[in-house]
Amino acid sequence: MNSTCLQKTTRILNKNVFKCFLNSHIRNQSSATNQSLILTDVNDKTGFATVAFNRPPMSNFTLELLQDFSKSLDEVESKNYKGMILTSTSPTVFSAGLDLKELLNPEPARLKALRTAYIDCCIKLYSSMYPTVAAINGHAIGGGCFIAMACEYRIMLPNSKIGLNETQLGIAIPEVAVHATRNIISSRDAEMALTLGSVFTTDEALKIGLIDEVAENKEDALAKSEKFLSLFKKIPKRARGITKQFFRKKVIDLMTNNREKDVEAFVSYVMNPASQKSFQAFLDEAKNKK
Ligand SMILES: CCCCC/C=C\C/C=C\CC/C=C/CC(=O)SCCNC(=O)CCNC(=O)[C@H](O)C(C)(C)COP(=O)(O)OP(=O)(O)OC[C@H]1O[C@@H](n2cnc3c(N)ncnc32)[C@H](O)[C@@H]1OP(=O)(O)O
């Protein structure tokens, strides 16, 4: 695909963007439909799966999306694909995190299920035996940023924003996110970023090491992602995967063992009137901006 074709398609909604990419890169299209919240496609030449959040324009996470994502992660593991590229079909957003409408005046049982599904995805992604790379094709905020952080490598487009903004919304970052952040950036930068709820530009993120590379456009990000995954082509999967898990053990254990406590704490932060006010304020501000 040439870059003019890609630039044109990025202005059109997800369906065409993804089709254009598929036509040139992917020989074996999965049964996913355009209605699916997650699109999974496998390149049978490389064995790499490209998994895309398919909820434009913000690619924000609902319970259903997270449940589908969790199933897709199982599929990538069980079908023994050689690696996974995680991206979205939205033109300018990788993911804006949890859908704030899910958090506004929520039904507690659904809120618990939402957080539980989110944790499941984080555990599966963080501990996967196959190599993972996030092709961050736009903004990655809150839960979207953390999902990208759970991958092994991050390639981001210019002029985008990335960060864990939870404290700004009145939600404390769980301890596990502190360790996960320190696994990527310096402890000093992590403390500043997480306490402030900082959101970084692409250049700032590159400077502190939150992302690994900048790509010119989505096509370039996908090509760079394949290049990263190809590094492991000759490394035996089991040896690689177990070694990866040793580096990630503390975070994996915390996520696995603190699941219920985390869900309770999350529900309590979200139901707090001050947090409810901040969710509403964000949505109102976005409306008023227009
Ligand atoms: C022990 C186990 C632990 C396991 C977990 C471990 C660690 C996890 C740690 C932390 C992560 C998990 C927590 C997650 C919490 C969240 O994700 S809260 C949500 C965070 N997201 C946000 O605060 C909103 C982010 N959005 C933005 O910053 C901007 O929208 C943007 C993405 C940068 C895009 O900006 P742009 O100017 O282009 O667009 P607008 O801002 O004008 O928005 C357009 C439109 O979209 C709506 N919108 C944007 N984001 C959301 C959202 N997240 N939910 C719902 N709606 C959203 C916005 O309201 C506008 O709507 P419109 O006015 O109706 O057009």
The pLDDT confidence band at residue 290, using thresholds 50, 70 and 90, is confident
- Among 98, 114, 157, 164, the active-site one is 98
pLDDT in tens, 193-244: 999 999 999 999 999 999 999 999 999 999 999 999 999 999 999 999 999 9
* Residue 98 CB less than 6 A away from ligand 1: yes
DSSP characters for 89-154?
SSSSEEE--B-HHHHSS--HHHHHHHHHHHHHHHHHHHT-SS-EEEEE-SEEETHHHHHHHHSS-E
Q: Quote the CATH superfamily of domain 3-288.
A: 2-enoyl-CoA Hydratase; Chain A, domain 1 (3.90.226.10)
Query: What's the pLDDT score for residue 31?
Result: 34
Asked if the ipTM is above 0.95, the reply is yes
* Residue 142 CB less than 6 A away from ligand 1: yes
Q: Report helix, strand and coil shares of the chain as percent, to nearest 5.
A: 55, 15, 30
**Mean pLDDT over residues 167-188, rounded?**
95
Q: In this predicted structure, which of 12-16, 133-137, 164-168, 240-244 has the lowest mean pLDDT?
A: 12-16
User: Higher pLDDT residue, 114 or 32?
Assistant: 114
Backbone phi and psi for residue 29, each to the nearest 5 degrees, phi listed first? -80, 140
Euclidean distance between the first and the last CA atom of the chain, given in angstroms as a whole number: 34
The pLDDT confidence band at residue 35, using thresholds 50, 70 and 90, is confident
Helix (H, G, I), strand (E, B), or coil: what is residue 280? helix
- Residues 39/88, Cβ–Cβ less than 8 Å: no
The pLDDT confidence band at residue 289, using thresholds 50, 70 and 90, is confident
- Residues 90/51, Cβ–Cβ less than 8 Å: no
The pLDDT confidence band at residue 4, using thresholds 50, 70 and 90, is very low
Q: What is the pTM of this model?
A: 0.90
- Among 138, 143, 144, 163, the active-site one is 143
The pLDDT confidence band at residue 30, using thresholds 50, 70 and 90, is very low
165 is catalytic: yes
> Which of the listed residues 10, 53, 55, 58 should we mutate to test ligand 1's pocket, taking the one with most ligand atoms within 8 A of CB?
58
**Mean pLDDT over residues 122-128, rounded?**
98
Query: What's the pLDDT score for residue 155?
Result: 99
Ordered by start, the domain boundaries in the chain are 3-288
Backbone phi and psi for residue 104, each to the nearest 5 degrees, phi listed first? -85, 120
